[in-house]
Chains A and B, each alone.
Chain A
Amino acid sequence: MTDPNFPETPKYQPIPGRRRVLYQVHPLTIVYEILLWVRRMAFPLAIFLYFSFTGGGNDDSSVFEIVLSALAGLKVVFVAINYMISRWGFEENVFVWKTGVIQKQERNIPMDRIQNVEVERNLAHRMLGLADLKIDTGVGGEAEVRLSALGLEDAQQLQRELLKRRVGQFEVGPDPSAAGELKPTEALWTATPRDLVYAGLSENRALFLVGSIFGLFSFFQFGSDSMERAMLGAVRNVVRSWDSTNYWPIFWGGIALFIVGAIAGIFNAFIRFHGFTITHRGDRIVREYGLFTHYSSAIPLRRVQVFTAAAGWVKRLLGFWSVECATAGSVIDLEQKGSNVLCPVVPTDQIGRFVRLIFPDLYFDRAQWKKVSRLTIRRHFVSYMLVWLMAFGAGVVPFGPWVLLGLIPAAGISVCAAFRYWETVGYARYGGHTLVHTGLVSQKIYIVPDGKVQSLSLTQSPFQRRGKIANLTIVTAGHGLGGSIEIVDMPFDEATRLHDELKDAAGRLGAWQIDGV
C-alpha cells in the first residue's frame, strides 16, 4: 500500500555540480576508523605485541591473542559494512543521515534548525587527506551528525552548502551589538567585600579541605603505611571518645573544621569573585571578575532560557541568594556554554532587580503565587517517615527495639517539614512567564519565558491519581531532560490548564532559535 503523498523512498536532491543524490563517506574512512580503534586499543595491543615477541606461548597469552584477533577482525568487518550502508543527502530542505549496522538509524535535520556546521581535522585526518563534518542543532551534548570522514574538499563543499541552505531559511536580523551600542554603561552591580565574605561563608570548604589534605598526603607518598596508620588512629580516637562518652573532642573538632572551612571559603570567594562587576552593553549583560585569572563574559539577553535564583539554608540564613541564567549551550558563541552564575550573592530583597535585568517587563514582587495541593503535606510526611523508619529500623539490631521510640519526635519533625514544604513551594504566571518555587532545605526559584518552553509533561503516580493531583514538568533548552523544572502535586485540573496554556503559548510564539523570542 503506497500513499502518493507519502512516497516510501524520499526524493533526495543532489548538491549542485554533483550527480548522485545519496552520498557515501570517503572510502579511506575504513582506514581512518581502524586507526582510531588502534589508538583506543593501544594498551591491550602493546600487551599483545609483548607476548608475541617474548614468545609467550602459554595458554593465557594464546587466548588473549585469539580474543584480540577476533575483536580486530570484527571491527574491520563492522567498519566496512558501516561504510557501505551509511548514506547522507538532502531531501528538499532536510539533511538526511542514514547509518547503523545493527541498530539502523535515519536522522532528519531541517535546514532552519541547524545551529552550527564545523569541519574538523586531526593528525590522522591530515595524513589521509580527510576531514570530519559536524552538524549541531542545539540539542546538546555531542554534535547531532558527525560525518566521519569525508574528503577535505567534499567536507568544505558540504559545509558551504549547508550554511547556504540554512541562511536561505530565515532572515538574519541586524546585530544590535554591531551598531556601536556596545559601550558599557555604569556598573549595575559591584560586589562589596561584605558580599564576598557572605559568599564564602555560604560555601563552607571543610570537606574540600579534608579531601585536599588526604590528597596531598597521598601525592607526596609519606608512605601508604603511615597514611593508613594515621587514618586508623584518628578513627580509633573518635571511637574511643565515643565509647568513653567523652564527646567534647568530636564537638570541638567539628567546630574547628567548620571555622577553618569557612575561612577557606571566604579566601576562595575573594580569589574567584574579586572585583565582581555587572554592566549592560547593548543587548548583553557583561560580568567581569577574578583576582588571578580574570574572567569577562557576556550573556545576550535573548539567549537566556531560564533564570534561576538558588539558596541553601546557610545562604538564606544570611539573607542571600545566588542568581543564574541558563543558556542553550550553543557552540556558535563560545562564551555561551551552559549555565551562567549571574551573581553569587544577591540580597533577598534585590532578586527582583536582577529579574528585571533579564526580563524588563517582569516585576518579581508583584507575582501572585499559588500553592500546590494540601495533599502534598501528607505525601511528604509519608516519604519523610519512610526515611526515618529505615534509619531507625537499621538501628534496632545494634541498639535494640527502644530505638524505635525515636520515631515519635521524628514524626513531629516530619509534620513540621512537610507543612513548611507546602508553605514554601508554589508557582505563578506573570506576563508570559512561569515562575516556580521548589525545594525545602535547598530552594530554587525558576523563571521561564513562554517562548523558551521546549516540551511539557504531566505525570501521575497511583497515589496522585487517587488524590486528583499531578506533577507538571517544564523542559527548556537550558536544562535538558535531566534537569527540568517540576511543579509537584498541583491540583490536577490546574496542572492540565497550565499545561495547555504553556503548550499553546509555546506553539504560538514560533520556531525556537537561539536568538529567538
Chain B
Amino acid sequence: MELEASPSDATRPEERALDPAVRRVWLMNAGIGALVMAGMAVAAELLLVPRLGIKIPRGVVGGAWFALTALPSLLMVNAQYRNWRFNVNRDEVTVRYGVLWRTVRTIPRQRIQHVDVHSGPVDRAFGLSQVSIFTAGSIAAVISIPGLSAYDAERLRTDLMAAIKQT
C-alpha cells in the first residue's frame, strides 16, 4: 500500500475516482467560503484600519485575505480531485485523499453501523450526492465519499446495506 495518489486508475484498477463534476462543487464551495471570509475582512478593514491610523488603499486587506484564503483552495481543487480515490470491496471500504497531508482511511465492512446519503443545494445543482459511513462510537461520519452521481450513491448504499444484512 502507498499513500501516494496514483496518476491514473491503471496502477490501482480496483480504486475509483469521484465524478469530475465534484470539482465544480468544490470550486463553488471554496468560492462561497472565500467570499464570506473576504466580506469579513472588508468589514474589519472598514472598522479597524481607520482607528489604527494606518493608511492603506481601500480593498487591499479584503483582497489580500480573499487571495490568501481562496487561492490555495481554488488551486488545489484539481490536485484534490486527482488524489481522491475510494474502493469498496467484499471486506472493507477504503478512501485515499489529501494533497499535502495524505490519508488512507479504512472501515472493515463488519464495523459499519449505518449509512447516510445526503446532498446539499450545490451538490444537487450538479446532480451529485454524498455517502457517509458511520461506525460505533464515531459520533461523526468516519468516511464521507463526496461527488457521487445520484445513481452511484444509491448503488453504493444498496451494496453496503446488502453486505451488512449478510453479516
Contacts and interface: CB of A to CB of B under 8 A. Distances in A.
A400 interface: no
A162 to B, nearest CB: 13
Interface in B123-163: 124, 134-140, 142-143, 151, 154-155, 157-159, 161
B6 interface: no
Contacts of B113: 109, 113, 137-139, 512
Nearest to B157: A108
A14 interface: no
Contacts of B102: 459-460, 465
B136 A137 contact: yes
A408 to B, nearest CB: 32
Interface stretch (A195-203, A221-229, A348-356, A495-503): A495-503
B108 interface: yes
Contacts of A459: 3, 98, 101-104
Contacts of A110: 114, 161, 164-165
Contacts of B98: 459
A506 interface: yes
A108 B114 contact: yes
A102 B138 CA distance: 25
Contacts of A506: 108, 110-111
Given A455-B105, A457-B105, A480 B164 contact: no
Contacts of A503: 91-92, 106, 108
Interface size class of B (residues with CB under 8 A): 35 or more
A139 B134 CA distance: 7
A264 to B, nearest CB: 35
Nearest to A137: B113
A496 B1 contact: yes
Contacts of A475: 135, 137-138, 142
B121 interface: yes
B88 interface: no
Interface of chain B: mostly helix, strand, loop or mixed: mixed
B137 A510 contact: no
A343 interface: no
B60 to A, nearest CB: 26
Interface in A461-494: 461-462, 465, 470, 475-482
B107 to A, nearest CB: 5
Contacts, number: 176
A481 B165 contact: no
Interface string A108-128: 111011000000000000000
A102 B120 CA distance: 6
A477 B117 contact: no
Interface string B52-82: 0000000000000000000000000000000
A6 B139 CA distance: 29
Contacts of A91: 161
Contacts of B158: 6, 10
Contact of A454 (B115, B117, B119, B138): B138
A507 B92 contact: yes
Contacts of A477: 135-138
A300 interface: no
B142 A481 contact: yes
Interface of B: 1, 3-4, 91-92, 98, 100-121, 124, 134-140, 142-143, 151, 154-155, 157-159, 161, 164-165, 167
19 contacts: A1-B151, A91-B161, A94-B165, A106-B116, A106-B117, A112-B164, A137-B136, A138-B136, A139-B138, A140-B137, A144-B134, A454-B138, A458-B3, A458-B103, A459-B102, A460-B102, A462-B100, A465-B102, A496-B1
Q: Which 6 pairs between the two chains have the least Cβ-Cβ distance?
A: A477-B137, A507-B108, A477-B136, A454-B135, A105-B118, A140-B139
Interface of A: 1, 3, 6, 8, 10, 91-94, 100, 102-110, 112-113, 137-141, 144, 305, 328-329, 453-462, 465, 470, 475-482, 496, 499-500, 503-504, 506-507, 509-512
Given A109-B114, A457-B105, A477-B135, 7 more contacts: A8-B151, A113-B112, A139-B138, A328-B136, A465-B102, A475-B137, A481-B140
